[in-house]
């Protein structure tokens, strides 16, 4: 039994030390994370601290109009070297609304806000100026034109006017949730 435990100990020690070996393919960036490539990424997104990918606001029907600021951010190592025009638009497909409503109780579900009850200002264009990483678009909502209820506006980044920039796959859109009381 002593011989078996010594062999087992030696085998475990040998396997644990094998992980310290150099990996030439990784060191030469043939696979794994290529740090230079990752640092060159320029991804444009709509940042949010909410895990539900939603921005929520509550308004009384007596409010004639209200504005929401939707931030746009360049996620890159350096600030923008040139002026960027990032266009946001309301997503006409209902897939994101349906997916979001599937995550909440029936009483807490949202309906698409009618297009005549809001305006995306400046044609939906957020201008990130050279030397900056941030911009915003203003959304004007008219609560007095709607009955009380829970409304949703699916807003997505649709284009960037310069090549070399990528629209974020998971933060390229936001669901704007508006509750009118």
In-domain check, residue 7: no
Mean pLDDT of the chain: 84
In-domain check, residue 24: no
Q: In the chain, what percentage of residues exceed pLDDT 90? A: 50
Domain range holding 74?
Answer: 42-180
In-domain check, residue 148: yes
Quote the pLDDT of residue 7: 78
Hey, which bits of 46-172 come out as E strands? 54-59, 66-75, 84-90, 111-112, 118-120, 125-128, 134-141, 149-160, 166-167
Q: Which residues touch 181 (CB under 8 Å, ≥6 apart)?
A: 58, 59, 60, 61, 148
Looking at per-residue pLDDT, the higher value among 19 and 119 belongs to: 119
In-domain check, residue 145: yes
Looking at per-residue pLDDT, the higher value among 103 and 39 belongs to: 103
Our CA angle for 115, 125, 51, nearest 5°, is 75
Query: 9 pLDDT band (50/70/90 cuts)?
Result: confident
The pLDDT tens digits for 69-121 are: 899 999 988 899 999 999 999 999 999 999 999 999 999 999 999 999 999 99
Query: 17 pLDDT band (50/70/90 cuts)?
Result: low
In-domain check, residue 36: no
The closest of 125, 121, 153 to 139, measured between CA atoms, is 121
- What CATH number did the domain enclosing 142 receive? 2.60.40.1740
In-domain check, residue 109: yes
Quote the pLDDT of residue 51: 39
Average pLDDT (30-35) is 58
If one counts the domains in the chain, the total is 1
Quote the pLDDT of residue 6: 76
Single pTM value for the model:
0.74
The pLDDT tens digits for 142-170 are: 988 889 899 999 999 999 999 999 999 88
In-domain check, residue 68: yes
In-domain check, residue 6: no
């Amino acid at each position: 039994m002593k011989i078996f435990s010594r062999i087992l100990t030696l085998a475990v020690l040998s396997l644990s030390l094998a992980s310290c070996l150099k990996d030439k393919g990784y060191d030469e960036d043939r696979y794994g994370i290529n740090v230079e490539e990752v640092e060159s990424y320029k991804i444009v997104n709509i940042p949010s601290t909410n895990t539900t990918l939603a921005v929520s606001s509550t308004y009384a029907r007596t409010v004639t109009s209200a504005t929401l600021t939707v931030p746009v951010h360049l996620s890159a190592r350096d600030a923008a070297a040139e002026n960027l025009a990032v266009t946001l638009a309301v997503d006409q497909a209902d897939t994101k609304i349906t997916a979001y409503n599937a995550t909440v109780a029936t009483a807490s579900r949202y309906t698409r806000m009618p297009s005549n009850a809001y305006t995306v200002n400046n044609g939906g264009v957020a201008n990130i100026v050279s030397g900056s990483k941030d911009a915003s678009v203003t959304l004007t909502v008219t609560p007095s034109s709607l009955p009380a209820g829970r409304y949703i506006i699916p807003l997505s980044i649709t284009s960037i006017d310069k090549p070399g920039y990528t629209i974020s796959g998971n933060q390229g859109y936001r669901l704007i949730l508006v509750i009118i009381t």
